[in-house]
Amino acid sequence: MRITVKGKVAVLTGAASGIGAALARQLAARGASLALIDRDQDGLERVAAEARLFGATVSTHVADLADPAAIAALPDAIAATHAAPALLINNAGVALVGRFDQMDAADFDWLMDINFWAGVRMTRAFLPALRRAGGARIVFLSSVFGIIAPPGQCAYAASKFAIRGFAEALRHELADTPIGVTVVHPGGIRTNIARSARLAAGMNPEEAAAGVRAFETMLKTTPEVAASTILRGVERGADRVLIGSDAYAIDALQRLMPARYWRPMQRRLGKLGGLVKAPAEQN
């Protein structure tokens, strides 16, 4: 189902930087009203000021999306300024560097809380309001690592496969309603998530830094292009959006070699300085 952004209220997480900031600016330029959510208050206010230059009504909400109570409070806080939202974009995400045997349970849980559970809880919190809006759409940011699962990315890939599975099942459950669901799989996007990634307790910091530097040379797509691609998909009612030529290549390879894709990918990627890093796509 297609949705027109103009005149609609959009709720956007991870809005203070990266793809989230670009989405905020482009949504405002298209005539949407915005409820922007992030834990970075300074970044959030900066992006809100940019969005208001387009004449948009903008509210900001500082929240830690790892906190279920903070998410539960958001619908009432947003309703104080806005009508029922027609667009929920679950964009916030974090990265965790290291192998499974290098990370502790607390770090794994932290990543899942933000990359997976926050999207589930945001959906639960806002679904009643989305129903009231009539035609609406929920967007989930997965990753190319929700299509393939490289070594060194157990937690990240688990979260991105999980949010993809949740979103696809939810789409089928909502098929007879006016609410659509879009899953987005970005490739390498030039944001700060790689540099701001948390290191697993057993990860060597020098090894991690070398891997991040190597991986950043492969990030080709700008947040602005990513945001534009997402919004075009939303407006045409796309169920699935791939971002970047690398995402299309990875998707094709996985379809061709669903169980053995990693060997040809490893030959192409090399060691990446000893580390396979998550695509820098959010925050």
Where in the sequence numbering do the catalytic residues fall?
Answer: 156
DSSP E strands: which ranges in the chain? 9-13, 33-38, 58-62, 87-90, 96-97, 136-141, 179-186, 198-199, 240-243
d(CA 160, CA 116): 7
CA angle 176, 179, 181 (to 5 degrees): 105
d(CA 50, CA 53): 5
d(CA 13, CA 136): 17
Q: Is the dihedral of CA 46, 50, 52, 57 positive or negative?
A: negative
d(CA 45, CA 220): 27
* Cβ-contact 100, 160 below 8 angstroms: no
